[in-house]
């Protein structure tokens, strides 16, 4: 504490007087800590219903109805998104990325929007790595997560019918964080008695179930963890082509064959919040419980409680995920 105070004094934050340290900066220290999220860079949502001009510089005071944090903004208030605020639907007319503002108008529609996001994870540094049964490996370390919202789907209420889609050109988002990952080696995948699309669905289904179980073991929120599948790089830090990666589970035809996939569970906050090392540690329990979860689920081909909704995956996703786990738990 003494050393810390001396450092802060050198930096001009503290002043020593009569054996006590006093805060001498004008800024209030708690001010820099957001209670809502790690990032303080929020987007303001402005209701422009009734105004013809959506530039926000038109007549009258624009009405600010809320804020979304930076990480959620690109998926919830992208142009043409339906944003729900206090039970009311709003259509996003324009997103001013630079100014961190979203202009919305009140609407009443029978659909919601679901953003399509591509995520790429690049391993920067491996902290620990170990071979496991499978053949496979587990590791944790520092990663760079790059994501981009490239489009959205319009989904009808109640029927979940896809009633439209759109492309979006939004800035890429980069985040340095920590991750835990499992590498499925070539031998394991090649030995699976399934077609390529079933294997791919099995991989994504397994990751979905792993995330659910990790959330439970860590006692965190599902949104605190991010998931991605990517090719194991030849060595850490190697840049892989952006197009090589896709987590577009909604479009099985876009799935490429992974040679040796890494299944990432990353901390969804810049800098990481300490989930990766514990996951690496409880790895055996994580795999065992995930296997129990999928095996005990009464659904036939997959559901949101086990490997994820069936509509987005092949009909053998559940079987394939279980088969992979069988190898990993051997
Ligand atoms: Zn199920």
pLDDT of 283-329, one tens digit each? 999 999 999 999 999 998 899 899 988 776 788 999 999 999 999 99
SS3 328: helix
How does residue 249 score in pLDDT terms, banded at 50, 70 and 90? very low
214 and 98 in a common domain: no
Q: Which residues contact 161 (CB under 8 A, 6 or more apart)?
A: 155
141 and 264 housed in the same domain: yes
The per-residue pLDDT for range 193-233, each reduced to its tens digit, is: 998 888 988 999 999 999 999 999 999 999 899 999 888 87
pLDDT band at 162; cut points 50, 70, 90: confident
Tally of CB atoms within 10 A around 104: 27
Q: How far is the CA of 192 from the centre of ligand 1 (A)?
A: 21
Residues in CB range of 194: below 8 A, 6 or more apart: 202, 316, 319, 320, 323
Mean pLDDT of the chain: 86
CB 150 within 8 A of CB 115: no
Say if residue 23 is in the same domain as residue 101.
Answer: no
- Please tell me the distance between residue 173's alpha carbon and the centre of ligand 1 in angstroms: 33
Give me ligand 1 centre to Cα 145, in Å. Answer: 29
3-class secondary structure, 49: coil
State how many domains the chain has.
Answer: 3
Within-domain flag for 155: no
For ligand 1, the distance from its centroid to the CA atom of residue 6, given in whole angstroms, is 57
> 164 lies in a domain?
no
Higher per-residue pLDDT: 6 or 51: 6
Q: What is the pTM of this model?
A: 0.76
Q: Cα(304)–Cα(275) distance, rounded to whole angstroms?
A: 23
pLDDT confidence band for 29 (50 / 70 / 90):
confident
**Predicted local distance difference test score (pLDDT) of residue 266:** 96
Domain coverage including residue 75: 42-109
What is the whole-number distance in angstroms between the Cα of residue 215 and the centre of ligand 1? 17
Tell me, in angstroms, the distance from the centre of ligand 1 to residue 283's CA.
22
Instruction: Inform me whether the pLDDT recorded for 111 exceeds 90.
Output: yes
Residues 195, 260: one domain? yes
Instruction: For residue 61, tell me if it sits in a domain.
Output: yes
Find the 189 Cα to ligand 1 centroid distance in Å: 23
Please say which residue of 55, 82, 109 terminates a domain: 109
Residues 178 and 319 in one domain: yes
């Amino acid at each position: 504490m003494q050393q810390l105070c001396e450092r802060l004094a050198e930096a001009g934050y503290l002043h020593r007087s009569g054996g006590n340290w006093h805060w001498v900066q004008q800024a209030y220290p708690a001010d820099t800590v957001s209670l809502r999220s790690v990032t303080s860079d929020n987007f303001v949502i402005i209701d422009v219903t009734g105004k013809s001009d959506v530039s926000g510089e038109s007549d009258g005071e624009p009405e600010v109805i809320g804020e979304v944090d930076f990480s959620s903004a690109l998926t919830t208030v992208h142009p043409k998104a339906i944003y729900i605020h206090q039970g009311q639907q709003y259509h996003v007319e324009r997103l001013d990325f630079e100014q961190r503002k979203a202009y919305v108008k009140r609407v009443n529609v029978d659909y919601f929007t679901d953003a399509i996001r591509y995520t790429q994870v690049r391993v920067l540094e491996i902290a620990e790595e170990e071979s496991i049964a499978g053949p496979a490996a587990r590791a944790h370390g520092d990663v760079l997560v790059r994501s981009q919202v490239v489009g959205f789907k319009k989904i009808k209420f109640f029927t979940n019918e896809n009633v439209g889609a759109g492309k979006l050109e939004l800035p890429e988002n980069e985040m340095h964080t920590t991750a835990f990952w499992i590498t499925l080696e070539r031998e394991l995948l090649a030995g699976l008695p399934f077609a390529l699309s079933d294997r791919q669905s099995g991989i994504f289904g397994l990751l979905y179930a792993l995330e659910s179980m990790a959330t439970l073991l860590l006692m965190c929120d599902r949104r605190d963890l991010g998931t991605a599948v990517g090719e194991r790089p030849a060595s850490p830090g190697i840049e892989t082509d952006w197009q090589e990666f896709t987590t577009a589970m909604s479009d099985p035809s876009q799935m490429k064959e992974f040679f040796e996939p890494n299944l990432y569970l990353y901390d969804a906050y810049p800098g990481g919040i300490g989930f990766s090392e514990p996951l690496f540690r409880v790895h055996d329990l994580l795999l065992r419980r995930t296997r129990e979860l999928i095996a005990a689920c009464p659904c036939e081909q997959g559901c949101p409680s086990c490997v994820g909704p069936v509509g987005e995956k092949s009909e053998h996703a559940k079987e394939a995920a279980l088969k992979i786990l069988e190898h990993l738990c051997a």
